[in-house]
Structure 1
Amino acid sequence: MSFKYLGAKAAAALDKELMSTGAFSIDQLMELAGLSVSQAVFRVHPPTKGRRILIACGPGNNGGDGLVAARHLFQYGYEPTIYYPKRSNNELYKRLAKQLEDLEVPFVQDFPTAAKSTDHILDAVFGFSFSGEVREPFPAVIRAMEQSTVPVTSVDAPSSWNIENGPPQSGLGSSFNPDVLVSLTAPKPLVKHFKGRHFIGGRFVAPAIARKYDFEVPEYTGIDQVVEVTPSGQKL
């Protein structure tokens, strides 16, 4: 089976559908998305490869997924560190950050320095809705991930990439191609430019909604929240 792509407009509409006719709350969707991301990280980088995980979180839903993933990774035995420079005033994000603070997970202010002493990086800065220029303080984050000597896993989209066209043709982010991509719900068109290990995560879409948006829900195994596929979308 080859999985179809879900463009930016369709992905945004699907999110709204899940929270209306699908009867999910944003808290539930973020929890399930973050759980799937944490399982993908565990699959590609088990604790035996190094427990230190640096998680870069943006101010929106992608960052929220990263905060949830960090909590699960802590419970799996990792040592997460959070870079979250633009904290949202939204109560949901405040609660997610508080949960990590209660676990005594450290928050850092200098991502490039922290990136030099970690075993894995989780990129949860920008998701499928990103467009335009990368604004401060995130250019330094993108550069550090481009130059990273440790594996990088991106949530839904490599940060700085356009959902349709992939990486910028030049400049910041043009040479950023993470080792792992976790596509949430369904792959986005940018995966045509991706060369690493590719997972689909988010085990919550009802068949009727999948039919409406014309994409396939992968066959998840057992309690898994992720399915590994080839970069082109073929299930492994």
Structure 2
Amino acid sequence: MKFNVVTKQQMGLIDNLMVKSQGIDILMMMELAGLDVALLAAKTSQGKKIAVLCGKGNNGGDGIAAARHLTNFGFECTLIFPFAATVLRKEPGKQFSIARKMKIKNVYYPTEKEKCIRAIKHSALIIDALIGYNLKGNPRKHFANLIDVANNSKKEILSIDNPSGLDASTGKDYKPCILASKTISLSTPKKGLLTANGKKFAGKIFVGYMSVPKEVYMKSNLKQVTWNHRNLVEPL
């Protein structure tokens, strides 16, 4: 398949058009993103324990949704937050509410550091859902701490959209930056994954189907992509 390669500004326009002109709300997008991630994780993980590092925004919500699907697939997931879950934004908060009802484990790095480290140590796969494509500058505080713990664990890491700490447009690696084994870029590949140090930090790149209507491609001045209905996730 041939994909458009976009900057974070172009991706922001796509997401905005999905919501405002097509009525595809963020929670719907999050649900499909989570399924894409879960399908790739389930196919490639070497074990049943998965640690999911979750930020407070939509990237974190994608990670929580992925953990829900993976739980239904028979995996044992632990959600790891660099903050108290009360600061989650609206849609990620809804995902977390569902995850709690499913009794998915959750731990908080600021107050449960050792539990977080153990969960990462005993996992077969780490899903990086800390920071999405709107990164501005170096990851800070406990975000940075969790990135360091993940990298030092030498575990397989699957990043959602782009590795946390990598600029999605330029490929600049801020400090610290997740060193991913694989990255699943949602809707379409981000330019930063293929530019500068992007390839080094992204690892093997996959693209996840996000049901982008042809009208959104047209309004974004991008070529329409027709997906193979048999695969929601495609290698780049």
Ranges in structure 1 where 5+ consecutive residues have no aligned partner: 230-236
Report the counterpart of residue 39 of structure 1 in structure 2: 39
User: 1:152–1:215: structure 2 CA closer, same or farther, 3 Å change rule?
Assistant: farther
Structure 1 residue 164, shift from structure 2 partner: 1.9
Q: 2-side partners of 1:141 and 1:218: how far apart?
A: 37
Q: Which runs of 5+ in 2 are unaligned?
A: none
Tell me the equivalent position of 1:18: 18
Structure holding more helix per residue:
2
2:208 matches 1:201: yes
Letter in structure 2 aligned against 1:191: L
Equivalent in 214, 221, 227 of residue 219 of structure 1: 227
| 8 Å Cα contact 1:58-1:126 kept in structure 2 | yes
Q: SS of the counterpart of 1:147?
A: helix
Question: Which of 166, 172, 178 is equivalent to 2:176?
Answer: 172
Distance 1:172 1:89 in 2: 22
Contact 1:185/1:203 (CA < 8 Å) preserved in 2? Answer: yes
Aligned length: 222
- Deviations 1:5-52 (CA, angstroms, capped at 9, x unpaired): 11111111111100111111111111111111111112222xxx2100
Alpha-carbon offset, residue 167 of structure 1:
4.4
The SS at the match of 1:65 is helix
Give the AA of the match of 2:155: V
Decide whether the 8 Å contact of 2:61 with 2:93 is kept in 1. no
Aligned twin of 1:100: 99
Q: RMSD of the TM alignment (CA)?
A: 1.8
* Residues 173-219 of structure 1: per-residue CA shift (max 9 Å, x gap): 2xx43111010111001221225222111331112212332144252
Matches within 5 A, 1:1-236: 1-45=1-45, 49-86=46-83, 87=85, 88=87, 90-109=89-108, 110=113, 111-168=116-173, 171-173=175-177, 176-192=178-194, 193-195=198-200, 196-213=203-220, 214-217=222-225, 219-222=227-230, 224-229=231-236
Provide the C-alpha distance between the structure 1 equivalents of 2:88 and 2:3, rounded to a whole number of angstroms: 36
Distance in structure 1 (CA, Å) of the matches to 2:224 and 2:42: 25
Q: Name the SS of the counterpart of 2:141 in structure 1.
A: coil
Percent identity between matched residues is 27
Contact 1:154 1:178 in 2 (8 A): yes
Q: Give SS of 2:170's match.
A: coil
- Compared CA separation, residues 40 and 167, structure 1 to 2 (3 A): farther
- After superposition, the C-alpha distances for 1:106-156 in whole angstroms (9 at most, x for unaligned) are 112233332111110000001110111211111111112222322100000
Q: Secondary structure at the match of 1:138?
A: helix
The answer to whether the 8 A contact 2:129-2:160 is kept is yes
Alpha-carbon distance in structure 2 between the residues aligned to 1:201 and 1:98: 25
- Separation in structure 2 between the aligned mates of residue 141 and residue 182 of structure 1, nearest angstrom: 20
In 2, Cα distance between the equivalents of 1:154 and 1:191? 11
Per-residue Cα deviation, 1:58-107 (whole angstroms, up to 9, x for no partner): 01000000010000000000000001233335443332112111121111
Shift of residue 221 of structure 1?
Answer: 3.4
Specify the code of the residue in structure 2 equivalent to 1:124.
A
Moved more, 179-188 or 212-221: 212-221
